[in-house]
Amino acid sequence: MTLALYGHPFSSYTWKALIPLYANGTDFEFREVGSDHPHHAEFVQQAHPAGKFPVLADGDATVIEATSIVEHLALHHPGPAPLIPSDPAQAAVTRMLDRVFDNYVMASMQRVVNAYLVNKEAPDPAEIAAGKEGLLRVYRWLEVWLEANTLPPHVSLVTCAAAPSLFYADWVERIPDDCPRLAALRAEVLALPAVARCVDDARPYRPWFPPGAPDRD
Q: Which pLDDT does position 59 carry in this prediction?
A: 94
Q: List the domain boundaries for the chain.
A: 88-192
pLDDT at 97 over 60: yes
Q: Is 3.40.50.720 the CATH classification of the domain at 88-192?
A: no
pLDDT at 3 over 60: yes
DSSP 207: G
DSSP 153: P
- Those residues whose C-beta lies under 8 Å from the C-beta of residue 55, and which sit 6 or more positions away, are 5, 6, 7, 43, 44, 47, 48, 62, 63, 64
| Dihedral pair phi/psi, residue 82, rounded to 5° | -80, 80
Cα separation, 169 vs 139, whole angstroms: 10
Q: Which pLDDT does position 142 carry in this prediction?
A: 98
pLDDT at 35 over 90: no
Q: Are strands 61-64 and 29-32 parallel, antiparallel or unpaired?
A: unpaired
27, 2 Cβ separation under 8 angstroms: no
Q: Which tens digit of pLDDT belongs to each residue from 144-179?
A: 999 999 999 999 999 999 999 999 999 999 999 999
Report how far apart the first and last C-alpha atoms of the chain are (Å, whole number).
37
Q: Which pLDDT does position 162 carry in this prediction?
A: 98
Length of the chain: 217
Task: Label residue 192 by pLDDT band (50, 70, 90).
Answer: very high
Task: Label residue 2 by pLDDT band (50, 70, 90).
Answer: confident
Q: Which pLDDT does position 1 carry in this prediction?
A: 56
Average per-residue pLDDT in the chain? 97
Cα separation, 190 vs 171, whole angstroms: 14
pLDDT at 118 over 60: yes
